A and B are shown apart, each in its own frame.
Chain A
Amino acid sequence: MESIVILVLLTLLAAVLVAVVRTRSLFAAVVLLSAFSFLMASVMLVLDAVDVAMTEAAVGAGISAVLFLSALHLTKTTEAPPRRSALLPLAVAGITGAALLFGVSDLPPFGIAETPMHRAGPDYIARVPAETGIPNVVTAVLGSYRGFDTLGETVVVFAGALAVLALLKRRGG
């Protein structure tokens, strides 16, 4: 059942992706990208990543759409017709895709528990409630075990905000 839901959502995702890539109107592309992010959040929800799904719905579909729309308001909303041939980019993308497909064929199938990465997860799930008292393992790992990493993330966001302010400051005003 879960597999079928993911299958349908991912197929919808691919359809929206094609529309995003093909459209020449930047406004349409941004709105479609927002829809794409909501579908992505649904996929994440089915993949049991509830915290990530919430963040993706708020940040990916909300804040990034607002940022894109404000940038479009300050610039232009249509894309110029292409001047160069798309053959070289298509070839690069095709070769990359073929290499990735070749690499993926050896990976373990979806949804099984007998993979090497599932040795570390249950360890955290066993330790977290006793050591931190927080039932949500993702929050506990983010706040307690990887606190410095989260601090670094905050520093990156702060640096990003400073860069945006420095770039958009009105000169001589």
Chain B
Amino acid sequence: MTDLLARLGNIAGHYNLYIAILLMVAGLYVVIARGNMVKKLIGLSLFQSSVYLLYLTPGKILGGTAPVVDPRFAIYSNPLPHVLILTAIVVGIATLAVGLALVVRINEAYGSIEEDEIFARDEATVKREDRAASRPPRRAGKGAR
């Protein structure tokens, strides 16, 4: 009975980290499985959120308060993960903006933001170019006859 309670307590004590893992796995799945580029970027955002949670969770002290120094409080949560994650959020939005600009540019060039359609168009272009490249020798051969 106490063993079961201890195990339950262990699960509750790691709940934040389990949710962080769920976010990370879901983000990874969306990035790999979905062909739509905007959806891929959404997956990337989910993955980033999981890292925020993973960093901020161990910094918290139960019964502590936010790290703003005041004589009425004695226990503060750790401020260093907060500093790192503030930087991470701002850099994350910069990379997201570049990613979305790339998506808009790809949509201008290909008329699609689905990976499969873009690959199909690329293959068609390559085949057409191959055919165009292999034509002149054949014509030269006919001329020699």
Give me the interface of A with B, judged by CB distance under 8 Å: 2-3, 6-7, 10, 13-14, 17-18, 20-21, 26, 29-30, 33, 36-37, 40, 43-44, 47-52, 55-56, 59-60, 63-64, 67-68, 70-72, 74-76, 79-80, 82-84, 86, 88-90, 92-94, 96-97, 100-101, 104-105, 107-113, 115, 117-118, 120-122, 124-125, 128-129, 135-138, 141-142, 146, 149-150, 153, 156-157, 159-161, 163-164, 167-168
Contact = CB atoms under 8 A, between A and B. Distances in A.
A164 to B, nearest CB: 4
Nearest to A164: B101
Q: Is the interface of B mostly helix, strand, loop or mixed?
A: helix
Interface in B112-133: 113-114, 116-117
A17 B25 CA distance: 11
Given A20-B46, A122-B76, A167 B82 contact: no
A80 B64 CA distance: 48
Q: Is the interface of A mostly helix, strand, loop or mixed?
A: helix
A40 B49 contact: yes
Contact of A21 (B12, B30, B35): B30
Contact of A160 (B61, B79, B98): B98
A121 B16 contact: no
Nearest to B61: A113
